[in-house]
Amino acid sequence: MSDQTLEITGMTCEACAGHVKQALLGVPGVRTAEVSYPEATARVTVDRSVDAAVLTTAVAAVGYGVALRSSAAAEAQPAAPVALGHRPPARTRGGDDDRRPHVAVIGSGGAAMAAALKAAELGAAVTLIERGTIGGTCVNVGCVPSKILIRAAHVAHLRRESPFDDGLSAAAPVIDQPRLLAQQQRRIEELRHDKYERILDETAGVTVLRGDARFTGDHAIAVTSADGGERHIRFDRCLIATGARAAVPPIDGLAGTPYWTSTEALASDRIPRRLAVIGSSAVAAELAQAFARLGSQVTMLARHTLFFREDPAIGEAIEAVFGSEHMTVLTHTQTSSVTFANGEFTLATDRGEVRADDVLVATGREPNTVGLGLAAIGVALDSHGAILVDDHQRTSAPDIFAAGDCTDRPQFVYVAAAAGTRAAINMMGGRAALDLATMPAVVFTEPQVATVGLTVAEARLRKIETDSRTLPLDAVPRALVNFDTRGFITLVAEARSGRLLGVQAVASEAGEIIQTAALAIRARMTVTDLADQLFPYLTMVEGLKLAAQTFTKDVRQLSCCAG
């Protein structure tokens, strides 16, 4: 037997030390493992047949940084990083330190940043390649600006009308969109600098290279800069995290008009008097309501219904809300052509003409995979051009991983970041899987739409017999005192066991409710378990408890906060 000492980074508490210890004890041949959070070390006794790389792989697989030092030098010298992996690379390709594996990351959004930082933490030399603005979609043209716009629209709406207008005077606000846009852009720039640019500048082991990347062969990338110069780099492993762009449907005449995608809409310094929105899912609904609340006359044109991939009750509820806010929603409507003349759009549909001052196309997003040379290296794509990955973020090509919106996984930034972290661990020899079974999703309309797990229809497709209950919000005390009872909470349970399988909510702050539901599903709680929990009174999340109680009782016959 022999003793080994590992330097552990990334531990933040004693529980982390427990996770590391458990991982080490799971390695065949490990006799003892003592992990110290204060000292950031792990001391293990192992059979002599146990390779050190197996120990470092085990620690990396649970998400911590690790470096090895011999027992003789443990007290005298700092640890040196070691290359992790089942087959450490024979040499570094493009790095300055021949002991370190070289990881190339294409992109700089959520997935790319998470992967670059984790790979550097685990001892890699990282080259991050970005052709445009650092930070990707979310901070620059997606999540951040859209939520700022939505919040501003919410405030404008409340100043114009609220459930308390009988006692609080209301007045139509004056919208100064150029000033709102300037405020929005300042916050974007602050976040981009603080959460992306500064971190990249300060992270040892990460080099940023500007330009367009394309694969030129196994383990080789050419990077073309804006001035036409070209650099060639070689890598041991590569992550593709190039994101996605707005998909534009082939509507006759559309391409020749100054239409908006979400990018242009979120950067606009004007609120159009009339806005037509082509689309029916999250981005379309969020921006349609925001512009309506800021003063646009909005017409939505949906080929199906709103949120047609979700439980039908969700689309029906949001359509009713939009109607109450004087928005026009044309469901089951196909746009056949678009023209633009004299500053006006004309949309021909199977339900007549729609005229507008601006048109927003929000029909989904498509992956940025064209021009990367993926076919030449054997990276398989689906029919939409998305990179096919397994639950370890591996592609069909050796040593090539992918994460984020350019893959066939759900297009959410938190999924991208989680995938990027796991990809980095796996590129460095770990075995970290991405489990999407309890992935929550939120649409930031008002009321919000939030879902996790299975619907009744999805469970039926899996041949699971279910029992479900829907609680209207007029049975939730917090909604009553807010004078806003629009929406519902639906719980889907396995019929035999009562185990919670899914939750769908349309409610004010549904996004704050859904994570509790996700944790309950993750913990394999039953509806009885959920009904027995303590929930603070006069919170929206208490609606989960009340919905769970409806499986066994009539909650309208209970007193307030009845346990």
> Does residue 447 have a cis bond before it (omega within 30 degrees)?
yes
**Which of the residues 138, 300, 427, 428 is marked catalytic?**
138
Query: CB within 8 A of 557, min separation 6: which ones?
Result: none
**Which of the residues 64, 238, 259, 428 is marked catalytic?**
64
> Reduced to 3 states, what is the DSSP secondary structure of residue 373?
coil
Active-site residue flag, 406: no
**Which of the residues 1, 259, 525, 560 is marked catalytic?**
560
**Which of the residues 11, 238, 428, 525 is marked catalytic?**
11
**Which of the residues 37, 143, 414, 439 is marked catalytic?**
143
Of 223, 219, 195, nearest to 208 (Cα)?
223
Distances (CA, A) of 301 to 150, 210, 335: 20, 40, 8
Asked if 400 and 420 count as a contact pair (C-beta separation under 8 A), the reply is no
Residue that is written with structure tokens 């242009």 in the block: 264
Query: CB within 8 A of 198, min separation 6: which ones?
Result: none
Active-site residue flag, 238: no
Active-site residue flag, 560: yes
Strand pairing report for 230-234 and 466-472: unpaired
Can you spell out the DSSP letters for 198-251? Answer: HHHHH-TTEEEEESEEEEEETTEEEEE-TTS-EEEEE-SEEEE---EEE-----
**Which of the residues 16, 113, 428, 540 is marked catalytic?**
16
Active-site residue flag, 143: yes
The rounded distance, in Å, linking the Cα atoms of 497 and 501 is 11
Query: CB within 8 A of 494, min separation 6: which ones?
Result: 459, 464, 465, 466, 467, 501
List the end-to-end C-alpha distance of the chain, in Å, as a whole number.
57
Query: CB within 8 A of 209, min separation 6: which ones?
Result: 127, 128, 129, 130, 223, 231, 233
Q: Which two tokens stand for residue 503?
A: 């939750």
Which residues are annotated as catalytic? Answer: 11, 13, 16, 64, 138, 143, 560-561
